[in-house]
Amino acid sequence: MKANPYHIWLSEIMLQQTTVATVKDYFIRFLTLWPTVEAMAAADEEDILKAWAGLGYYSRARNLKKSADIIVAEYGGVFPTDAKDLRALPGIGDYTSAAIAAIAHDHAEPVVDGNIERILSRLYRIEAPLPKSKPEIRQRMGALVPQIHAGNFVQAMMDLGATICTPRNPKCGDCPISASCQAGKTGEPTRWPIKLAKKPKPERVGAAFVAISGDGAVLLQKRGDQGLLAGMSEVPTTNWDSRTDGETGIDAAPFEANWLACGSIRHTFTHFHLTLHVFRADIDARPKTNGWWSDDVGNEALPTVFRKAIERGLGSS
């Protein structure tokens, strides 16, 4: 049975920087809501962001919508088969384009994910540390991919890395290519791939303000179209980002009210850790704001960091 390029594309975009266990339910939900690329192109971006909320790296969700629009408008709803054309779509890089071309169309493309990086680093005992070794790994993979049944080969390599050539405690005795593995012959295969020491993530601070009306609705607003978490919903917050701290006190509240300190929450982004000091106010008369009052925050396009802030604020009652 031929693989569905829409399913491959959706799963690979979701799996960028995210684990299979986390993605599984999201993948099923998206296919239920938008079973085809045409359905996704017809969807509202806000609905896609709402369904994506909690999965992180929200530019991926916006790029899903942009790519779906292009595939329907320019390709008649049929995914390009060539990796070069796939790379031209928003959010699709070398890996995802190669994966779609190989798995869906059996093109001999050098697909390289984290599992394959690990296998080839060990197989050839590549001494250059990641990410410097990526060009060599890609070249090695290109030489291995067969012209026939490329998709099966690529998926078999991924499975080999996920189940046998694992980061810790690899099952070298069960490995079908152990006789050729140079790292395995050293008796210390887990030394590879070699990685540079990670720099510690900076710590940032800010404040979040959870305003609750008499009927239990929570004040939300929309973030700007640029920068971190662009276009997502949020509770009012201060101007923090990966490089700068935001204000942390009541003086930064969006309007005058009886704001009460509720403690803090901590959240980790790709490039920094964030501590938000959370304040809550119970509002009798709703002030005029640029936001809206939501009585169903569970169905809003709220990133995890703001869900944490709301939970802290609601938990203070």
Q: Which residues are catalytic?
A: 12
User: Within 10 Å of residue 116's Cβ, how many Cβ atoms?
Assistant: 23
Separation in Å, CA 96 to CA 70, 104, 109, 241, 258: 17, 12, 11, 29, 50
Reported as type and span, the H/E element at residue 293 is: strand 292-294
Q: Residue 44 is encoded by which pair of tokens? A: 């509202």
Reported as type and span, the H/E element at residue 81 is: none
* Contact assessment for residue 170 and residue 144, using Cβ atoms and an 8 Å cutoff: no
Residues in the chain: 317
Please name the amino acid found at residue 195.
Answer: K
CA dist., res. 80 & res. 94, Å (int): 14
CA dist., res. 187 & res. 189, Å (int): 6
CA 42 to chain centre: 23
Radius of gyration of the chain (CA): 23
CA dist., res. 30 & res. 10, Å (int): 9
Q: What is the DSSP letter of 89?
A: S
